[in-house]
Structures are given as structure tokens and as C-alpha cells.
Amino acid sequence: MPQKDPCQKQACEIQKCLQANNYVEAKCQAVIQELCKCCAQYPKRRSVVCSGFEKEEEET
């Protein structure tokens, strides 16, 4: 059985926030920051939901 993604909860919270705010990302910055903090705690590739953030960081 695969291990649960350690940042899945934060990713779900972002989806809930975006849906509740008509996908206005600016209204969900606090929740997005929580996911970034979670992703920073784990080594690369440990969290599938963090893979998009890791790619963004490499581009900047």
C-alpha cells in the first residue's frame, strides 16, 4: 500500500479555497504558503503534490 502524501491535506485545502473563491488565487495565498512550508520540510520527490512547486522553483 503506498504511503500517504505528507502534503496532501494542504493541497486539498488549496482546492477548497480556490473553489470557494471562484479560483481567485490571490484570496488563497495563506493556504498556498502552508503548502509551500510543507513541501520545504520534505526531500524532493517525497511528496507528489509538491512536484509542481519544485518545477516552478527550478524555473525562477
Q: Which tens digits make up the pLDDT trace of 3-19? A: 689 999 999 999 999 99
How distant, in Å, are the alpha carbons of 4, 7, 40, 48 from that of 1? Answer: 9, 18, 25, 16
- Its pTM stands at 0.77
Domains and CATH numbers, the chain: 8-59 (1.10.287.1130)
Asked whether the beta carbons of 31 and 14 are under 8 A apart, the reply is: yes
pLDDT at residue 29, as a whole number: 97
CA distance 6 to 10: 9
Angle between helices 8-20 and 29-41 (to 10 degrees): 170
Residue 28, all three cell numbers: 488563497
Q: Which tens digits make up the pLDDT trace of 17-44? A: 999 999 999 999 999 999 999 999 987 7
pLDDT at residue 30, as a whole number: 97
